[in-house]
Amino acid sequence: MRHCIYPGTFDPITFGHLDVLERATKLFDRVTVALALDTTKAPLFSAAEREAMIRPNVARYTNVSIVTFSGLLVNFAVEQKAVAIIRGLRALSDFEFEFNMALMNRHLDESIETIFVMPSEQFSYTSSSLVKQIAKLGGDMANFVPANVAAELKKKFAA
Ligand code: COA
Protein backbone atom coordinates (compact mmCIF):
# COMPACT_ATOMS: atom_id res chain seq x y z
CA MET A 1 0.00 0.00 0.00
CA ARG A 2 1.81 3.14 -1.22
CA HIS A 3 0.55 6.14 0.73
CA CYS A 4 1.39 9.78 0.06
CA ILE A 5 0.64 13.06 1.78
CA TYR A 6 -0.54 16.08 -0.19
CA PRO A 7 0.09 18.99 2.22
CA GLY A 8 -0.94 22.59 1.96
CA THR A 9 -2.66 25.54 3.51
CA PHE A 10 -5.47 25.23 0.96
CA ASP A 11 -6.79 28.72 1.71
CA PRO A 12 -8.85 27.93 -0.31
CA ILE A 13 -8.41 24.83 -2.47
CA THR A 14 -8.28 25.63 -6.20
CA PHE A 15 -8.68 23.64 -9.42
CA GLY A 16 -4.86 23.64 -9.57
CA HIS A 17 -4.66 21.79 -6.24
CA LEU A 18 -7.36 19.37 -7.43
CA ASP A 19 -5.37 18.71 -10.60
CA VAL A 20 -2.33 17.76 -8.48
CA LEU A 21 -4.52 15.59 -6.26
CA GLU A 22 -5.98 13.73 -9.25
CA ARG A 23 -2.46 12.95 -10.46
CA ALA A 24 -1.50 11.76 -6.97
CA THR A 25 -4.48 9.38 -6.83
CA LYS A 26 -3.15 7.66 -9.95
CA LEU A 27 0.39 7.32 -8.62
CA PHE A 28 -0.42 6.14 -5.08
CA ASP A 29 -2.82 3.65 -3.51
CA ARG A 30 -3.79 6.16 -0.85
CA VAL A 31 -3.56 9.95 -0.66
CA THR A 32 -4.02 12.04 2.47
CA VAL A 33 -4.78 15.71 1.91
CA ALA A 34 -3.02 17.25 4.88
CA LEU A 35 -4.29 20.65 5.93
CA ALA A 36 -1.53 22.46 7.76
CA LEU A 37 -2.33 24.35 10.93
CA ASP A 38 1.31 25.46 11.22
CA THR A 39 1.80 27.61 8.17
CA THR A 40 3.62 30.87 7.67
CA LYS A 41 0.44 32.33 6.21
CA ALA A 42 -2.46 34.00 8.00
CA PRO A 43 -5.34 32.11 6.44
CA LEU A 44 -8.61 33.82 5.55
CA PHE A 45 -10.59 30.65 6.32
CA SER A 46 -10.47 28.59 9.52
CA ALA A 47 -9.15 25.04 9.27
CA ALA A 48 -12.72 23.70 9.62
CA GLU A 49 -13.91 25.97 6.80
CA ARG A 50 -10.98 24.92 4.57
CA GLU A 51 -11.67 21.27 5.23
CA ALA A 52 -15.40 21.69 4.54
CA MET A 53 -14.58 23.30 1.17
CA ILE A 54 -12.24 20.43 0.21
CA ARG A 55 -14.54 17.56 1.26
CA PRO A 56 -17.19 17.60 -1.53
CA ASN A 57 -14.45 17.97 -4.14
CA VAL A 58 -12.66 14.77 -3.12
CA ALA A 59 -15.77 12.68 -2.39
CA ARG A 60 -15.48 10.86 -5.72
CA TYR A 61 -12.09 9.36 -4.83
CA THR A 62 -12.21 6.20 -2.78
CA ASN A 63 -8.52 6.48 -1.85
CA VAL A 64 -8.42 10.08 -0.56
CA SER A 65 -8.85 11.27 3.01
CA ILE A 66 -8.47 14.71 4.60
CA VAL A 67 -6.62 15.31 7.87
CA THR A 68 -5.53 18.48 9.64
CA PHE A 69 -2.09 18.38 11.21
CA SER A 70 0.13 20.53 13.37
CA GLY A 71 3.85 20.30 13.88
CA LEU A 72 6.39 19.19 11.33
CA LEU A 73 5.12 17.77 8.06
CA VAL A 74 7.73 14.99 7.95
CA ASN A 75 6.75 13.81 11.44
CA PHE A 76 3.14 13.72 10.37
CA ALA A 77 4.07 11.78 7.21
CA VAL A 78 5.97 9.19 9.27
CA GLU A 79 3.10 8.87 11.77
CA GLN A 80 0.74 8.25 8.86
CA LYS A 81 3.12 5.60 7.44
CA ALA A 82 3.36 7.55 4.19
CA VAL A 83 6.32 7.08 1.85
CA ALA A 84 6.12 10.42 0.08
CA ILE A 85 4.98 14.03 0.05
CA ILE A 86 3.53 15.26 -3.22
CA ARG A 87 3.66 18.90 -4.33
CA GLY A 88 2.71 20.71 -7.51
CA LEU A 89 5.21 22.77 -9.49
CA ARG A 90 3.35 25.36 -11.52
CA ALA A 91 6.18 27.40 -12.90
CA LEU A 92 9.86 28.13 -12.44
CA SER A 93 8.92 30.65 -9.75
CA ASP A 94 7.71 27.80 -7.50
CA PHE A 95 10.98 25.95 -7.86
CA GLU A 96 13.20 27.67 -5.31
CA PHE A 97 10.69 27.56 -2.47
CA GLU A 98 9.70 23.97 -3.21
CA PHE A 99 13.30 22.81 -3.66
CA ASN A 100 14.33 24.33 -0.31
CA MET A 101 11.34 22.83 1.44
CA ALA A 102 11.98 19.38 -0.08
CA LEU A 103 15.65 19.45 0.94
CA MET A 104 14.83 20.67 4.45
CA ASN A 105 12.24 17.92 4.81
CA ARG A 106 14.80 15.38 3.59
CA HIS A 107 17.29 16.71 6.12
CA LEU A 108 14.66 16.30 8.86
CA ASP A 109 13.75 12.78 7.76
CA GLU A 110 15.54 10.85 5.00
CA SER A 111 12.78 8.25 4.75
CA ILE A 112 10.20 10.60 3.21
CA GLU A 113 10.62 11.39 -0.47
CA THR A 114 9.15 14.53 -2.07
CA ILE A 115 7.56 14.00 -5.47
CA PHE A 116 6.71 16.92 -7.77
CA VAL A 117 4.03 16.85 -10.40
CA MET A 118 3.17 19.52 -12.93
CA PRO A 119 -0.45 20.60 -12.95
CA SER A 120 -2.09 21.27 -16.29
CA GLU A 121 -0.74 24.50 -17.84
CA GLN A 122 -4.19 26.10 -17.64
CA PHE A 123 -3.60 26.31 -13.87
CA SER A 124 -0.04 27.61 -14.05
CA TYR A 125 -1.08 31.09 -12.94
CA THR A 126 -3.76 30.07 -10.42
CA SER A 127 -3.02 30.74 -6.78
CA SER A 128 -5.11 30.97 -3.65
CA SER A 129 -4.10 34.58 -3.03
CA LEU A 130 -4.96 35.74 -6.54
CA VAL A 131 -8.32 33.99 -6.28
CA LYS A 132 -8.96 35.76 -2.95
CA GLN A 133 -8.09 39.09 -4.54
CA ILE A 134 -10.48 38.45 -7.42
CA ALA A 135 -13.20 37.44 -4.97
CA LYS A 136 -12.67 40.53 -2.85
CA LEU A 137 -13.00 42.77 -5.89
CA GLY A 138 -16.10 41.00 -7.19
CA GLY A 139 -14.49 39.19 -10.15
CA ASP A 140 -15.48 35.86 -11.68
CA MET A 141 -13.75 32.89 -10.02
CA ALA A 142 -15.47 30.11 -11.98
CA ASN A 143 -12.33 29.09 -13.89
CA PHE A 144 -10.18 28.82 -10.78
CA VAL A 145 -12.20 27.28 -7.95
CA PRO A 146 -15.12 24.84 -7.63
CA ALA A 147 -18.60 26.35 -7.22
CA ASN A 148 -18.80 25.61 -3.48
CA VAL A 149 -15.49 27.44 -2.90
CA ALA A 150 -16.60 30.42 -5.02
CA ALA A 151 -19.79 30.61 -2.91
CA GLU A 152 -17.80 30.58 0.36
CA LEU A 153 -15.45 33.28 -0.94
CA LYS A 154 -18.41 35.46 -1.89
CA LYS A 155 -19.91 34.99 1.58
CA LYS A 156 -16.63 35.81 3.30
CA PHE A 157 -16.18 39.06 1.41
CA ALA A 158 -19.84 40.05 1.68
CA ALA A 159 -19.63 39.87 5.47
N1 COA B 1 -2.46 25.00 -8.38
C2 COA B 1 -2.81 26.19 -7.93
N3 COA B 1 -2.19 26.80 -6.96
C4 COA B 1 -1.19 26.16 -6.39
C5 COA B 1 -0.76 24.91 -6.80
C6 COA B 1 -1.44 24.33 -7.85
N7 COA B 1 -1.13 23.14 -8.30
N8 COA B 1 0.28 24.54 -6.06
C9 COA B 1 0.50 25.54 -5.22
N10 COA B 1 -0.39 26.52 -5.44
C11 COA B 1 -0.44 27.82 -4.79
C12 COA B 1 -1.47 27.91 -3.74
O13 COA B 1 -2.66 28.40 -4.29
C14 COA B 1 -0.83 28.86 -2.77
O15 COA B 1 -0.97 30.17 -3.22
P16 COA B 1 -0.79 31.41 -2.26
O17 COA B 1 0.65 31.45 -1.86
O18 COA B 1 -1.19 32.52 -3.14
O19 COA B 1 -1.69 31.20 -1.08
C20 COA B 1 0.64 28.48 -2.88
O21 COA B 1 0.81 28.03 -4.18
C22 COA B 1 1.03 27.37 -2.01
O23 COA B 1 0.00 27.02 -1.15
P24 COA B 1 -0.40 25.55 -0.78
O25 COA B 1 -0.38 24.67 -1.97
O26 COA B 1 -1.68 25.64 -0.02
O27 COA B 1 0.77 25.11 0.11
P28 COA B 1 1.68 25.91 1.10
O29 COA B 1 2.90 26.34 0.36
O30 COA B 1 0.89 26.94 1.82
O31 COA B 1 2.03 24.72 2.07
C32 COA B 1 3.17 23.62 3.82
C33 COA B 1 3.11 24.82 2.87
C34 COA B 1 1.89 23.44 4.57
C35 COA B 1 3.45 22.36 3.03
C36 COA B 1 4.33 23.97 4.78
O37 COA B 1 4.08 25.22 5.40
C38 COA B 1 4.48 22.93 5.87
O39 COA B 1 4.99 21.86 5.63
N40 COA B 1 4.04 23.26 7.10
C41 COA B 1 4.15 22.36 8.23
C42 COA B 1 5.32 22.77 9.14
C43 COA B 1 6.64 22.27 8.59
O44 COA B 1 6.90 21.09 8.50
N45 COA B 1 7.50 23.24 8.25
C46 COA B 1 8.81 22.94 7.73
C47 COA B 1 8.80 22.85 6.24
S48 COA B 1 10.41 22.59 5.60
- Cβ of 128 closer than 6 Å to ligand 1, yes or no, is yes
Nearest-atom number in ligand 1 for the CA of 19 is 7
> Ligand 1 center to residue 78 CA distance, Å?
19
Instruction: Give the global pTM.
Output: 0.94
pLDDT digits (tens, 9 = 90+) for 14-59: 999 999 999 999 999 999 999 999 888 899 999 999 999 999 999 9
CB 12 within 8 A of CB 142: no
Domain-embedded: residue 159: no
Q: Which residues are catalytic, by number?
A: 17, 41, 90, 128
pLDDT digits (tens, 9 = 90+) for 49-98: 999 999 999 999 999 999 999 999 999 999 999 999 999 998 888 899 99
Tally of structural domains, the chain? 1
Strands (E) located in 37-103? 64-69, 84-88
Q: Which domain holds residue 100?
A: 3-123
Instruction: Kindly report the protein residue whose alpha carbon is nearest to atom 33 of ligand 1.
Output: 8
CATH number of the domain to which 48 belongs: 3.40.50.620
How many helices, marked H, and strands, marked E, lie in the chain? 6, 5
